[in-house]
Structure 1
């Protein structure tokens, strides 16, 4: 009987863990946060009072996919920040599980690559879990509305992880183009492409 109870408790615990980490979807409220940027200052949605929305991207230092998308993320910020949609990058990896993703190495990368956007350290992976980010990169496009900050799109930046297809579908750009025209995006979710989020082994 004790074994059955234990199995039920373990199954319930696993269910709760999965529920807590469920990925946000279009229409959900995007939780605000206050995380430390590589410059030591805290950043949240309210740090951008004139923004119309946000390009929230969970990315990291060493994942080959994150590296492959790095310039495209910079380009997104350079193009859309002046239009009211700044990039906010968050590193979802636990630094004990991924030694390349310590705060100090984040600072080095942001400086070397001249990141024009904040690159935030998610201590304890709390925001990562709130958003349900699974891979690097994992993109969440958020708009401001009368109801607050609303998720409009979740998934990949585009359908060209190798970066060699000039005919690629630019999901992120298409979504923001729709939002700027006061229209709902035709595509609200795609499969995220990247390395899995690195988590510290449980004791």
Structure 2
């Protein structure tokens, strides 16, 4: 079922985290933060919404890193119920795609809960002071990639953040598969 997250709560502070990465390193929010801003993406291996735009996510991440934006992807799905999202499978995918950013595993889902992540993909764009400036979509793609000339909403928003410290007033929420939450005991 498709889910959309709430819109941007401007200035909301990025919750700190410490998570293991597919490259064998443990990363914190401070490790990821860029001089001009930070993009925290909640993605996973199996979601058709993510798979449809994976090449665009990689393109935009590289371009944003060139603007001084720190980029990280986090997978928080229940890997017991969704084995394709296991840490081992994340490592395989990160290697296969030569991800240009850390891909971190939120096994206990505490980081996804702290961020209020709702779906994959879910994008959180922060300014240099780690205040939220963007909570919108990558572009107008849905379960299938849209035409290649779609407006790059995420890239344009984070470019604006890098240049001005402010995100756009008008934002369209992302859409994707719901985070696959573990049953609470």
Matched ranges for 1:126-165 at <5 A: 126-145=110-129, 149-161=130-142, 162-165=144-147
Q: Deviations over 1:52-73 (max 9, x none)?
A: 2111110000111111121111
Contact kept, 8 Å, 1:140 with 1:153, in 2: the verdict is yes
Contact kept, 8 Å, 1:55 with 1:139, in 2: the verdict is yes
1:50–1:140 CA distance, 2 compared to 1 (3 A): closer
Output the CA distance in 2 between the equivalents of 1:135 and 1:174.
21
Bigger Rg, which one: 1
Matched ranges for 1:72-83 at <5 A: 72-83=56-67
Post-superposition offset of 1:50: 5.2
Contact kept, 8 Å, 1:154 with 1:188, in 2: the verdict is no
SS at match of 2:38: strand
Output the CA distance in 2 between the equivalents of 1:112 and 1:106.
10
1:177–1:35 CA distance, 2 compared to 1 (3 A): same
Post-superposition offset of 1:41: 1.0
Post-superposition offset of 1:169: 2.8
TM-score by length of 2: 0.88
Match of 2:84 among 89, 97, 100: 100
Q: Which runs of 5+ in 1 are unaligned?
A: 1-21
Name whichever of 69-78 and 106-115 sits farther off.
69-78
TM-score by length of 1: 0.80
What root-mean-square deviation, in Å, do the aligned CA atoms of Structure 1 and Structure 2 show?
Answer: 2.1
Q: Which runs of 5+ in 2 are unaligned?
A: 1-5
Q: Report the number of matched residues.
A: 180
Match of 1:191 among 166, 169, 173: 173
